Structure 1
C-alpha cells in the first residue's frame, strides 16, 4: 500500500472550516494533518515546483493534497475554491493556493480583524458605561 492510499485519513480529524469562528483550530489541525502525511512542503512558500521528470508525480500529489485540504471546509468554502483543482491558470502548488485562500478571509490578524476587535471593544465599553449610570 502506498502512502497516497492513506492521505485522507489524517484529514478526517480536521474540523470543517466554517468561518472566522473556527479558523485557528482548523489551521492548527490541518497543519498537523499535512505534517503527518508529509505534505507540508506543498504549503511552504520556499518550495519550488520541480522542473524535471518528477513534475507529473509531484503535480498529482499536489492535487491530492489540495483536494484533502478542501475536504476539510464547509460546502460554501468548498464551492468557492474547488475550481482551483482543475484550473490550469492556478499557481502551483495548488495546495498552497487553497491553504492560503481562507487565511485572507478568516485570519485573526491584519487590519480588518484589528478594526473588528476595536469596534467590539468600543461597543462593549459604551454598553458598560450606559449600565453604570
Structure 2
C-alpha cells in the first residue's frame, strides 16, 4: 500500500448546516458535487461530508451512538496568533471551543473545537511541524 490518506468522510446530522460551517467559517474550497454529499479539496486529501445515517448504512454499522469516537482532525498554522484568530472565528461561526488554546508540553500552542456535529479539531502551532 502506498503511504497516503485519500479521503476523510464525516457522517453529519445535518448536511446543509455542516456544509455552511465548513464553507463559510473554515473557508474550505468546495468541489462541485451532487446535493447528497459535499467534497472539499485539501491538497491531495479530500474532506467529505455525508449524512450520518447513509454513511453508517454504507459501512453496515448502526448510526446511533455518541461520545468520543477515538479520532480528532488537526489543522496546523504558522503562529500562536493564527491559532487564536482561527479559534475566535470558529467560536463566532457556530463551532464550540472544547479546550481553549494554550502552551503545550511538546513546545507548541494548541486548542480544540468541535464542529456543529461534534467532530473534534485541534488547531495548533508547532514550530517543529514542516507542513503549515
TM-score, normalised via structure 1 length: 0.28
Structure with the bigger percentage of helix: 1
Return the index of the structure with the highest Cα Rg.
Answer: 1
